Amino acid sequence: MNIFFLIIGMGMCVLVFLCLYRVTFGPNVLNRAAGLSAVGTKTLIILLFMGVIYDRVEMFVDISMVYALLNFLGTLVLAKYIKQSGEVECQL
């Protein structure tokens, strides 16, 4: 069963790199924020898979919980900052 988690985790890493394309070349800062949120969500699952592979899930699950909270708060703060600063250009 460990090899199954390893293969799925590697596939998830490939998906993270595909999301990094949108973070790097996104047309403006809102696209970058959306891609960053997706990368954070995938990282949470990869952390839990790493915990299963190392057989230390009771430690990794706390790190994953904190990561979920920080990802949520970071996205909220970024959205509020973008809305208030008005520095995004209003076209595609």
Binding site for other proteins (CB under 8 A): 1, 4-5, 8, 11-12, 15, 18-19, 21-22, 27-28, 30-31, 33-35, 37-38, 41-42, 44-45, 48, 52, 57-58, 61-62, 64-65, 68-69, 71-72, 75-76, 78-80, 82-83, 86, 88, 90, 92
Spell 61-81 as b/e; 16+ CB within 10 A means b.
eeebeebeeebeeeeeebeee
What does the alpha-carbon distance between residue 28 and residue 49 come to, in Å, rounded to a whole number?
A: 32
Q: Nearer to other proteins by C-beta: 54 or 61?
A: 61
